[in-house]
A and B are shown apart, each in its own frame.
Chain A
Amino acid sequence: MRRRALLSAAVAAPAAALLPGCAAGRDDRRGPDGTIRLRFQSLAWQQESVEINKQLVREWNEANPRVRVEYVQGSWDSVHDQLLTAFEGGEAPDVIHDASDDLADFAYGGYLTDLGPLLPRGLRESIPERSWRTATFDGGIHGVPFLQEPRVLIANRKLLEAAGGVRIPTPDDPWSWPEFRAAARKLTRGGTFGVAWPLKEPVSSTLNLSLSAGGRVFHRGTDGKAEIRFGAADRVVPGIVHDQVNTDRSASRGTLGMGGSDTLPGFFAGKYAMVPLGFSYRQQVEQQAPDGFAWTVLPAPAGREGLRQGVSPQTLSVARDCPYPEEAVRFIAFFLRPRNLVRLARGDWMLPTATEALADPALHTERHGWATGTALAGELYPAPAQSVRGYPEWKDKIATPALQEFYSGAIGMEELGTRLVRDGNLVLARYQR
């Protein structure tokens, strides 16, 4: 992240000086025979998903010999830095796979095409408006949101059933946050914690789950400027996590600094009864669980706003420098046809945003908890902060350390609120002058 900030700062001066001399817009995509060549950078990384991506590109190329698409493998680990450099140098891929929370910088920087006027009606109408909002910046649509994942509770089925008096929640009848707290307490016994919160990156988890309790943290004024507040609704989820760790002792303190994958060995060993994880973690659970390990997928707890959660879907965008945006969008529309989208969703163990794809029976099976996930799809809304300028800095410099200290019990709720709001608004003010 420090490198990202440095890189962003480093971009401005030298690039501004050198760019006019560059061959921006040079049409090196059309061959001598008139064939258009587009580069599609995919971030698919799991074997099954990579295969499906490549297969879809092959199918497109067979059906569209005049518009050839080249598959380029990117990496989630480095995509922001790589794209930023490529955009500045005018060498970005034409079709770009990314996530909506990473698009804001690029959209505001003018690197991405506004897809609004180019999107075919079928594609536009197949994706709900709330999903489009995740990729809409300054009134322009800068990406097609296509895959997303709710946060769910992956639970040890045996421990859950063995704990007397614990009701198994369903999407129709989920736990409330207090019920979840009580269930975690009941599941805590004999060296087993009721829950393990992997909060190495605590900000997005906290903000996204807080939507269920009506928490927003970021509020837009009539002048369009964002302001941070930390009211009662914002305190519900962090308060419960804090109390589970520090008061009830029903949540493991050791996992607070872990990523999601790090909790799985303890989960398989019966050390934790439940782990809140992204929906796609099911693949790792299925792949790594010891023989005979029974697990199930439960919806995250509900608050006054029901099961609502914030998400940052994966997106497909078109670079502003792409000389053939119409063809690029045609490829995207092909790539995201309902049948293809179902294949992509299954390959990544995620949910499609498009309603027709979401209705596919393959995504409604009880096996591996697919049905629980699809039942939550209607409750997924844009992550509260993703379009707020200055959010990455607030997250890294203020919210992450403050929440980590809070969850570990080093500071209290008042101190947390003060730091998030007072220090946070100072950061936002610099971006909103």
Chain B
Amino acid sequence: MTARTAGAGARRSPRRTAGSAGRHLALLCYLVFLGFPLLWLLSTAFKPPGELATLHPTWWPEDPTLANFRQAFDEQPLLRSAGNSLLAATAAAVIAVVIATPMAYVMARHRGRLARAATGWVVVSQAFPFVLVIIPLFLVLKELRLINALPGLIMVYVVWSLPFALWMLTGYVRAVPRELEEAAAVDGAGRLRTLVSVTAPLLAPGVVATAMFAFITAWNEFFFALVLLKSPEKQTMPVVLTHFIGAEGVADLGPLAAAAFLATLPSLLVFAVIQRRITGGMLTGAVKS
């Protein structure tokens, strides 16, 4: 086997090798492009004030300091706001997925007029900019006494992420071969058993990916949180981050970078933990029965 592999490698043409190297180079450039903002944020977070205002900034801090992190924690309630964000984003993701999964199943499996209309509505609903709905939404939530309450914000996040979650999950359900469910039925499994034992495991990566999408959307969301939450102790992370920005866009750059870096960590961690499952889910969807 080793000899065959070596032989195959030896026979690889220079043109193929160059093509492969080119692809890797392109991939590397793309990775740098994607990773640069995060690396720059990290670098800025550890730079002292003097290094933040130089004409020729360095890639890495010459005199790294934790002062920006200390100042960020001293000035703003970062932990409390992160807790609020975590609660709102987790709840929104779980609720959105719980609602969207059965709906997506129905829309994917039953292709009647109603399902088509529902799909159309889901697509259309994505076209409304949030500034058009914020005032009516504010007034409705006020009547429900859900202004300045995390449950109100969670409700908004669920409603806001639901159409895309639904659309995303519908695609995953369609990728699960219908024949597998029919085979289970032939083997004597009931409807519920089929769903639990056959469909659900195949759908799990899609559900996780959708939940992640809903989580990250809610975690990063700024405007609804700004408008709907009044009390300082209920504010979420993105709102608190703006407190490092002053008039005319002047920013307290060091502490802002430190806080912003901390704010990106949950998204990164969530993605790192479940990315293998997402990839698995995508491959599952790619295989035709």
Q: Which residues of A line the B interface, CB within 8 A?
A: 3, 6-7, 10-11, 14-15, 18-19, 21-23, 39, 43, 45-47, 50, 70-73, 75-78, 81-82, 85-86, 88-91, 93, 99, 201, 259-261, 264-266, 268-269, 271, 278, 281, 284, 287-291
Contact (Cβ within 8 A) B50 A15:
no
Contact (Cβ within 8 A) B246 A268:
no
A-B contact pairs, 12 of them (CB 8 A): A7-B131, A19-B139, A23-B142, A39-B230, A45-B252, A46-B252, A71-B232, A89-B138, A269-B55, A284-B53, A284-B250, A288-B53
Residues of chain B from 119 to 167 with CB closer than 8 A to chain A in the complex: 129, 131-132, 134-136, 138-140, 142-143, 147-148
Contact (Cβ within 8 A) A77 B249:
yes
Instruction: Report the minimal beta-carbon distance from B166 to chain A, rounded to whole angstroms.
Output: 25
- Determine the chain A residues whose CB is within 8 A of the CB of B147 once the complex forms: 89, 91
Contact (Cβ within 8 A) A86 B139:
no
Give 9 closest A-B pairs by Cβ, nearest first. Answer: A288-B53, A269-B55, A75-B242, A89-B138, A14-B136, A18-B139, A45-B246, A265-B55, A85-B227
Contact (Cβ within 8 A) B227 A18:
no
Instruction: Report the minimal beta-carbon distance from A137 to chain B, rounded to whole angstroms.
Output: 21
Contact (Cβ within 8 A) B50 A288:
yes
- Determine the chain B residues whose CB is within 8 A of the CB of A266 once the complex forms: 55
Count A/B pairs, Cβ under 8 Å: 129
Residue of A nearest to B227 (CB): A85
Alpha-carbon gap, A39 to B55, bound state (A): 43
If A72-B231, A91-B142 touch, does A11 touch B135 (CB 8 Å cutoff)? yes
- Determine the chain A residues whose CB is within 8 A of the CB of B243 once the complex forms: 45, 73, 75
Contact (Cβ within 8 A) A6 B132:
yes
Contact of A15 among B75, B139, B250 (CB under 8 A): B139
Instruction: Report the minimal beta-carbon distance from A309 to chain B, rounded to whole angstroms.
Output: 16
- Determine the chain B residues whose CB is within 8 A of the CB of A23 once the complex forms: 142
Contact (Cβ within 8 A) B142 A22:
yes
Alpha-carbon gap, A86 to B71, bound state (A): 30
Residue of B nearest to A291 (CB): B50
Contact of A85 among B135, B247, B250 (CB under 8 A): B135
Alpha-carbon gap, A133 to B247, bound state (A): 21
Alpha-carbon gap, A369 to B232, bound state (A): 36
- Determine the chain B residues whose CB is within 8 A of the CB of A21 once the complex forms: 139, 143
Contact (Cβ within 8 A) B246 A73:
no
Contact of B232 among A73, A76, A90 (CB under 8 A): A73
Instruction: Report the minimal beta-carbon distance from A49 to chain B, rounded to whole angstroms.
Output: 9
Alpha-carbon gap, A137 to B23, bound state (A): 63
- Determine the chain B residues whose CB is within 8 A of the CB of A281 once the complex forms: 250
Alpha-carbon gap, A15 to B138, bound state (A): 10
- Determine the chain B residues whose CB is within 8 A of the CB of A85 once the complex forms: 134-135, 138, 227
Contact (Cβ within 8 A) B135 A86:
no
Contact (Cβ within 8 A) B55 A268:
yes
- Determine the chain B residues whose CB is within 8 A of the CB of A71 once the complex forms: 232
Asked if B29 is an interface residue, CB under 8 A from chain A, the answer is: no
Contact of A261 among B134, B139, B250 (CB under 8 A): B250
- Determine the chain B residues whose CB is within 8 A of the CB of A22 once the complex forms: 139, 142-143
Name the residue among B56, B74, B134 with the largest chain A CB count within 10 angstroms.
B134
Asked if B2 is an interface residue, CB under 8 A from chain A, the answer is: no
4 other A-B residue contacts (CB within 8 Å) besides A76-B246, A76-B247, A91-B148? A39-B230, A46-B252, A72-B230, A89-B139
- Determine the chain B residues whose CB is within 8 A of the CB of A19 once the complex forms: 139
Contact (Cβ within 8 A) A10 B139:
no
- Determine the chain A residues whose CB is within 8 A of the CB of B139 once the complex forms: 14-15, 18-19, 21-22, 88-89
> B interface, by DSSP: helix, strand, loop or mixed?
helix
Alpha-carbon gap, A43 to B243, bound state (A): 8
Instruction: Report the minimal beta-carbon distance from B85 to chain A, rounded to whole angstroms.
Output: 16
- Determine the chain A residues whose CB is within 8 A of the CB of B56 once the complex forms: 269
B208-237 toward A: CB 8 Å interface, digit per residue (1/0)? 000000000000001100110011100100
Asked if B244 is an interface residue, CB under 8 A from chain A, the answer is: yes
- Determine the chain B residues whose CB is within 8 A of the CB of A261 once the complex forms: 249-251
Residue of A nearest to B142 (CB): A89
Residue of A nearest to B76 (CB): A73
Asked if B49 is an interface residue, CB under 8 A from chain A, the answer is: yes
Residue of B nearest to A11 (CB): B135
Instruction: Report the minimal beta-carbon distance from A16 to chain B, rounded to whole angstroms.
Output: 10
If A6-B131, A7-B134, A10-B135 touch, does A287 touch B245 (CB 8 Å cutoff)? no
Asked if B168 is an interface residue, CB under 8 A from chain A, the answer is: no
Residue of A nearest to B55 (CB): A269
Name the residue among A10, A15, A22, A89 with the largest chain B CB count within 10 angstroms.
A89
Residue of B nearest to A49 (CB): B246
Contact (Cβ within 8 A) B50 A290:
yes
Alpha-carbon gap, A73 to B235, bound state (A): 10
Alpha-carbon gap, A76 to B230, bound state (A): 16
Alpha-carbon gap, A46 to B75, bound state (A): 9
Asked if B262 is an interface residue, CB under 8 A from chain A, the answer is: no
Asked if B95 is an interface residue, CB under 8 A from chain A, the answer is: no
Alpha-carbon gap, A240 to B232, bound state (A): 47
If A15-B135, A77-B242 touch, does A259 touch B252 (CB 8 Å cutoff)? no
Alpha-carbon gap, A11 to B246, bound state (A): 26
Instruction: Report the minimal beta-carbon distance from B142 to chain A, rounded to whole angstroms.
Output: 6
- Determine the chain A residues whose CB is within 8 A of the CB of B245 once the complex forms: 45, 75-77
If A46-B246, A90-B142, A278-B248 touch, does A18 touch B136 (CB 8 Å cutoff)? yes
Alpha-carbon gap, A359 to B55, bound state (A): 38
Asked if B54 is an interface residue, CB under 8 A from chain A, the answer is: yes
- Determine the chain A residues whose CB is within 8 A of the CB of B142 once the complex forms: 22-23, 89-91
Alpha-carbon gap, A52 to B146, bound state (A): 32
- Determine the chain A residues whose CB is within 8 A of the CB of B129 once the complex forms: 6
Contact (Cβ within 8 A) B135 A89:
yes
Asked if B87 is an interface residue, CB under 8 A from chain A, the answer is: no
